[in-house]
């Protein structure tokens, strides 16, 4: 029997519809997102973005360290380039270049720190953060300061080549033109201020006519002659000069004696003071008494949170007494020996984030005591009246 060959037709595969955005729309959305990130970063630096701003500032401090203040500027520059030049096509090399740029630049900042303190400085948000620590620590340990700096500078140049998708020769030529233009602008500014500071420059516009130059020349000569005449001293015999001066001096003394008549005795002025011996102060009971009381929240929980936060950063503390005030509650603590106060004061943002309270003030140390005070705002503020001040021990 002959075999029957059956032909099977492939069913068309159902592809999921993809949302194809216009490249200009995608770049516009990305630019808006970068502007928002930059704006939130700037607001978090000034602590005016709430609890989320404190969290953003803490993350940026740990990741980028003190270079975090450059982060919003870079975001704004990238967003501006995306808006102005829509022909720029995004590539993975751009992401690689950005990562290498921050690693190398933060590493150059962080390698200035001593090798022993690099990790501590990164946890406290100083230097180049953990981005800088990632390259600065191993390079500084195995190659030293100068060797590590050379490697980081080379990586920085490579990152710029990836970012701008250009060659090294073009980059050198671009930098050469940039510095030449910068030098030209600098010389023009210096020349302008040098001309501005020259003495004798007239405020009125200069007339470039022959007649005007002739008149100006003659007026200058006449002024010079007058000045020379003023400088000429007329000679007189010494005896005549002394006699004239004595006569003038005698006249002035007589005039002064006639005009100035000093009284022989000064009269005493007697001021009568009123007698207030029978006056009685009004009673304090006339003043208003406040019934509001401050609410400090969970004092024990806050004390444990403060202690745990310091322990997370390698700082051992012993909690002391707690003072509840009308607006803030002060938690006193004693750090372990050898702990620098700068490490404690640098953790204000982390404490604000842990306690969900803002702002927090660290008093290091408390005046007259070997303790550190942390002032946390109360949940409910009490009003302090004049009656309470007058009845207090400090006033009486």
Tens of pLDDT, residues 130-164: 888 888 999 988 988 899 899 998 988 888 888 77
pLDDT at 7: 53
Range of 167-176, 216-225, 378-387 with top mean pLDDT: 378-387
- DSSP symbol at 392: S
pLDDT at 151: 92
Average pLDDT of the residues in 90-116: 81
pLDDT exceeds 70 at position 349 = yes
pLDDT exceeds 50 at position 207 = no
Nearest to 62 by CA among 5, 113, 115, 126: 126
Question: How many CB atoms within 10 Å of residue 157?
Answer: 13
Q: Where residue 332 falls among pLDDT bands split at 50, 70, 90?
A: very high
Rounded mean pLDDT of the chain?
74
204 close to 216: Cβ distance less than 8 angstroms = no
3-class SS of residue 151: helix
May I ask the CATH architecture of the domain 299-391?
Answer: 2-Layer Sandwich (3.30)
pTM exceeds 0.75: no
Q: Which residues pair with 322 in a beta bridge?
A: 331
Average pLDDT of the residues in 24-49: 84
DSSP 22-65: -HHHHHHHHHHHHHHHHHHHHHHHTT-SHHHHHHHHHHHHHHHG
Nearest to 345 by CA among 365, 331, 327, 330: 365
Q: In what order do the strands lie in the sheet with 361-363?
A: 317-324, 328-335, 372-377, 361-363
Q: Where residue 193 falls among pLDDT bands split at 50, 70, 90?
A: low
Average the pLDDT over each of 141-155, 269-283, 291-305 and give the range with the smallest value: 269-283
Domain ranges in the chain? Answer: 23-176, 299-391
Nearest to 151 by CA among 97, 90, 108, 203: 108
Residue reference for tokens 């004798």: 200
pLDDT exceeds 80 at position 393 = no
pLDDT at 56: 87
pLDDT exceeds 50 at position 1 = no
d(CA 333, CA 321): 8
């Amino acid at each position: 029997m002959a075999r029957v060959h059956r032909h099977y037709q492939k069913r068309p595969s159902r592809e999921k519809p993809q949302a194809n955005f216009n490249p200009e729309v995608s770049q516009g959305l990305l630019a808006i997102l970068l502007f928002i990130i930059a704006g939130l970063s700037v607001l978090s630096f000034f602590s005016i973005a709430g609890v989320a701003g404190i969290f953003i500032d803490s993350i940026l401090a740990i990741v980028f360290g003190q270079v975090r203040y450059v982060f919003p500027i870079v975001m704004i520059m990238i967003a501006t380039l995306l808006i102005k030049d829509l022909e720029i096509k995004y590539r993975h090399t751009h992401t690689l270049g950005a990562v290498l740029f921050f690693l190398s630049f933060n590493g150059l900042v962080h390698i200035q720190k001593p090798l022993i303190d690099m990790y501590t400085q990164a946890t406290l948000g100083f230097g180049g953060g953990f981005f800088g620590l990632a390259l600065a620590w191993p390079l500084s340990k195995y190659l030293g300061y100068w060797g590590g700096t050379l490697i980081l500078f080379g990586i920085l140049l490579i990152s710029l080549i990836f970012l701008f998708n250009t060659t090294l020769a073009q980059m050198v030529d671009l930098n050469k033109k940039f510095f030449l233009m910068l030098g030209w602008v600098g010389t023009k500014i210096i020349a302008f201020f040098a001309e501005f500071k020259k003495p004798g420059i007239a405020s009125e516009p200069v007339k470039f006519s022959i007649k005007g130059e002739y008149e100006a020349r003659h007026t200058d000569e006449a002024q010079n002659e007058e000045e020379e005449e003023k400088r000429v001293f007329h000679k007189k015999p010494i005896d005549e000069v002394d006699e004239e001066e004595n006569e003038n001096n005698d006249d002035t003394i007589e005039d002064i004696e006639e005009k100035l008549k000093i009284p022989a005795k000064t009269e005493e002025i007697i001021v009568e003071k009123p007698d207030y011996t029978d006056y009685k102060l009004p009673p304090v009971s006339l003043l208003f008494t406040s019934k509001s009381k401050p609410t400090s929240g969970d004092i024990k929980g806050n004390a444990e949170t403060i202690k745990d936060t310091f322990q997370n950063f390698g700082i051992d503390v012993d909690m002391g007494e707690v003072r509840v005030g009308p607006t803030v509650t002060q938690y006193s603590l004693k750090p372990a020996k050898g702990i620098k106060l700068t490490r404690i004061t640098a953790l204000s943002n982390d404490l604000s984030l842990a306690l969900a309270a803002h702002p927090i003030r660290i008093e290091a140390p408390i005046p007259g005591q070997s303790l550190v005070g942390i002032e946390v705002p109360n949940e409910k503020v009490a009003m302090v009246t004049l009656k309470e001040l007058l009845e207090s021990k400090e006033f009486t």
